[in-house]
Structures are given as C-alpha cells and as structure tokens.
A and B are shown apart, each in its own frame.
Chain A
C-alpha cells in the first residue's frame, strides 16, 4: 500500500522587509549605495529577510519630468545594479528583491517594478511589471513622459504566488481582483504618494485613504499586501511613506511612519490566507460569477476579445 500523499505540509512562514527610502533626486549611484548600506542592516540586526521591497522610483525620486529619459535603465541593467547593492551590503544571504524603477526598453519608457531572485553570486529577473494606470491629472504627469504597461501577471516567489501593482494600479479594484483570480496570495505595491489633506485627525487624509484601499484589497481577496511608500519632500510635495504589511484579514500587521526613512519588518504566513479565505470566501464566489461579469455584452470590450 502506498503511503498517503502528504496534504498537510506546513507552508513556510517568511520574513519580509520593506525599506522606506528618501532618494536624493536623480542621484542613482548615491541612492543605490545608501540602499546597499540598509541591506547590510537587514541581515545583521535580525533574521535575514526572505523578501525585501522598495518603493516606486526608489533609486531616482519620483517627479523627474524630462529627466526620466536620462535616468531610465534597461531592466537587466537595473537588476544587475540592485543585485550588486544587495551583495555589497548583505553578502551571500539569498533573498528576493522588489523595487520600483524607471525602465528604458529600447527607447520606450515605463514606470516599472522588478522582482529579482538573488543568491550564490547570481541573480535572476523573476518578473517586471509595467505600471498600467499612469496618473496624469493635477500634480501628476506620468503619461506625458511614459508609456503604460499592457499586462498584469502573477509570478512565483519563495513565499507564494504574487503580483506587483504600482501606486495607482492598486486604486482600481479590478487590478488586485484580477491578480487574486490569477492566484496571487501576495500583492506587492511599490508607491510614491504625494500627501495632501491637513484637516484630518493626526494624519494626512491621503494616508487614511491609502490604508482603506490596502485593507480592502487584503480583506476582499484574502491576500497579504506589502506596501512600500517613498518618503521625503520633492519640490514641495511630501511623499507619505507609511509602508505597511496588511494581513489577509485586512489587519495592519505593521506600519512605518509617514515622514522619514525606515525599515518595516513583517511576516507572511500562508496559513493565514487560507483561514481568511475560508472565513470569508469572496474570492471563491468571484471565481464562480466572474465569467458572467466579463462576458457581459454591455461592457465596452473590443469585439473579438470576448
């Protein structure tokens, strides 16, 4: 008689670090050196992390206008630089890194996030997500300079299947929804949010709004949300930091300050996602109903795509 298949294997609990940075505008090399120093801190002051997340535009600053063309890099080059920053700071400790950067893909420019596996002196690009929703209103001017991504993919990490959304991507409920339907258990959100709203209780109203969005994503889909926020002022616009880990119940596991650089340490326990989904099976319900919603002829879908 064959032994029973082991269906109760305990999923791995992993450590995540979010590095909330304040880059010097346009000083790519200097910012990478600073990040490398922080990487050193990550492995010396506590258990080395399985996954490290940096904000949107972490190595250049966010508001670049035309200088984005000076600073955007091919994904392979950025991957090599970021991997080297890890190895210079943290040595041989294997890790998976996520960071926002401006991407130059043969003369087409994107606001991108990279997911990178580093270890044993090598690195591998796991995925590059190109921001799909480029804010171009008010203080924002992304689509003037950048092209938008056309695809939302999920990918495997050592802590489970994940997806990356960049800043405004996550404000459209359909984005984390599609990621979750594709199997994501972790939504990683590099962000750069210029704060506003001073009438609130103790924090800017834009920070409160962000937290509501993040908690709603986590609770609706039973996913972990890792939010990495840029911090510091850029030409009078103050980035709101507040990097956080939200658990699959929608609870804030840990959150950093709004002002100032910091490391936010949290953990991902895949069993929490299972329990949250069993308790509130919204994703299962969605999977059942989604075809009816998507195939609705009243939706403005191009003919032939339905």
Chain B
C-alpha cells in the first residue's frame, strides 16, 4: 500500500515565548539611543540607576556602546534594608564597562518623610523609595547635563509591576518593548556578568522579595502568554493552545487592571484644543 510522508503543524513555537536576535536588537537600540540623545536632544551623557538587576545592567551596557563608557554615569541608591548583593552585582557592571559610578544612600531622604508615616505598609514604603531614587536621577542629570535613561521592560510595564511616575519617568527607554526573557537573552549577547543573569529578579524593596513571587507566575510563562495575548488571542484560545488556565487569568487580570499606569494622567477635556486630544504634536517635533 502506498504510504505518504506526513508533515504536521505544531504550536510548540508559540509556547516557547518571544525570541530575540541579540546582535540585531543591540544594533537598533544603540541607534535609538544615539538618535534620541545626541541627534535630537544634543545630549551626550546618560544617567542610569544601577540596581544590581538585569534591566539596569543591560541598559548600562547599551548606553556604553551608544555613547562611550566615559559618558555613562551610574548611581547605586541603596536603602538601609537593600541587599548587599545588589551593590556588589552593580559593581560588577561598573567594573566590566569602565563607566562612572557613585553610591548615594537614600535612607535619610526616605526616612525624612516616612518618620511622619510610621504605619506605612511595604507597598507604600517601596513606592517612596522608588520615587526618591527617581528624584536623585533627575537631579543628577541636571547637574551632569545628562539625560536619565529608563530601564523598565515590557513585561513589568504590562503587568503594572512598577511604581507609577517613578520607574517609568525617564524620557527615553530602550528596553520598554522587550519582554523580560528577551532582556535576559540580550544580556547574554552583551556579555553581562553571569551573576546578574542567574539570580532571581527582585525589586529589593523588602528582604527575600522576588518578582516572580510577587507576581505569582514565572517570567517565562508570563512572557509566552503576553506575547500571544497582545496579538488579540482570547483567554479561551490561549488555554486551547496549551497555556495553563490560572496563569492566563493571572496575566489577564494584571494587564486589565493596570492600563492607567501606561498612560499620562487623565485630563478633563473641556475645549476643542485639548492637549493630546485635539492639539496633537509628536514628542520629537
């Protein structure tokens, strides 16, 4: 009996999540930083808050390539409860790149306010720390004639896992359209020290805190789901494709409850010249 060779379609690739070509992404992100800082704003220096995590490390590597290490100014901004490992991991990046580094402890500034709010819970305390760090970065950028460069990735932006008007405030952000798992891949391409790639991501606002513990899902799972969700697939379709129903629900809930964090403040529109509603000019005009 005649036997045909069979080839079968598979959805395995979908479940693996988003991919990235490190060399390609680096080339475009370096061009982005040069265009946005030097060509458009005539600013040659970047200020980066170096947390000891992977996002700020990759950002520093990209800035060093785009602007030269002599033009990259990094700041470590520990609070008294910050992990010592965060400081030492950040130092690995500074040493590898030969970029400027300064440590400014934020404990005094944070406590200066929180002494009046002794009952503030961990979430509020974390937000105060994040906003204090941004205060430092913007002030240092004014001092150094530099531009603060953001470090937020697409996953945390989509899941709302950041402090509004803190982590998201720098005027340019090279990683904001890259999922966390893509940032890891890019880190490997760029040669970021393995200690930073291997450790569990943490906002380091509390002891033993991890992102994945806070989120209730791993970045690998979240990114694979998000990549499909953003294309328009329904929750039912995602489950049909092999994703765990609870994971899909977790991601959907976080995305749908945080759209406001990805926008500017809501302004009451009262005229037909309302800014960004009727009066429309691009950011680079």
Chain A residues with a Cβ under 8 A of chain B: 22, 25-26, 61, 63-67, 195, 198-204, 232-236, 238, 259
In chain B between 21 and 38, which residues have their CB closer than 8 angstroms to a CB of chain A?
Answer: 21, 23-25, 27-28, 31-32, 35-36
Minimum distance in angstroms from B16 CB to a CB of chain A: 11
Q: Which of the residues B21, B40, B172, B282 comes within 8 Å of A67, measured between beta carbons?
A: B282
Using known A-B contacts A67-B281, A238-B28, determine if residue A199 contacts B20 with beta carbons closer than 8 Å: yes
In chain B between 18 and 64, which residues have their CB closer than 8 angstroms to a CB of chain A?
Answer: 18-21, 23-25, 27-28, 31-32, 35-36, 39-40
Minimum distance in angstroms from A239 CB to a CB of chain B: 10
Check if B21 sits within 8 Å of A201, measured CB to CB.
yes
Check if A232 sits within 8 Å of B24, measured CB to CB.
no
Minimum distance in angstroms from A180 CB to a CB of chain B: 34
Among residues of B, the one whose C-beta sits closest to the C-beta of A200 is B21
Q: Which of the residues B18, B24, B182, B285 comes within 8 Å of A202, measured between beta carbons?
A: B24
How extensive is the interface on chain B, given as a class? 20 to 34
Check if A66 sits within 8 Å of B280, measured CB to CB.
yes
The secondary-structure label for the interface of chain A is: loop
Among residues of A, the one whose C-beta sits closest to the C-beta of B23 is A202
Question: What chain B residues lie within 8 Å of A203 (beta carbons)?
Answer: 24
Cα-based distance from A25 to B25 in the complex (angstroms): 24
Using known A-B contacts A233-B31, A259-B31, determine if residue A64 contacts B285 with beta carbons closer than 8 Å: yes
B113 at the interface (CB under 8 A from A): no
Question: What chain B residues lie within 8 Å of A67 (beta carbons)?
Answer: 280-282, 285
Check if B28 sits within 8 Å of A195, measured CB to CB.
yes
Cα-based distance from A234 to B35 in the complex (angstroms): 9
Among residues of B, the one whose C-beta sits closest to the C-beta of A234 is B284
Check if B281 sits within 8 Å of A66, measured CB to CB.
yes
Chain B residues with a Cβ under 8 A of chain A: 18-21, 23-25, 27-28, 31-32, 35-36, 39-40, 172, 182, 278-285
Q: Which of the residues A22, A64, A195, A198 comes within 8 Å of B282, measured between beta carbons?
A: A64
A-B contact pairs, 20 of them (CB 8 A): A25-B40, A25-B285, A63-B284, A67-B280, A195-B28, A198-B20, A198-B24, A198-B25, A199-B18, A199-B19, A199-B21, A202-B21, A202-B24, A233-B35, A234-B284, A236-B36, A238-B31, A238-B35, A259-B27, A259-B28
Among residues of A, the one whose C-beta sits closest to the C-beta of B36 is A233
Minimum distance in angstroms from A98 CB to a CB of chain B: 25
Question: What chain A residues lie within 8 Å of B27 (beta carbons)?
Answer: 259
Q: Which of the residues B24, B32, B282 comes within 8 Å of A25, measured between beta carbons?
A: B282
Minimum distance in angstroms from B153 CB to a CB of chain A: 14
Among residues of B, the one whose C-beta sits closest to the C-beta of A71 is B285
Across chains A and B, which 3 residue pairs bring their CB atoms closest together, nearest first?
Answer: A65-B280, A66-B280, A233-B35
Using known A-B contacts A199-B21, A203-B24, determine if residue A238 contacts B282 with beta carbons closer than 8 Å: no
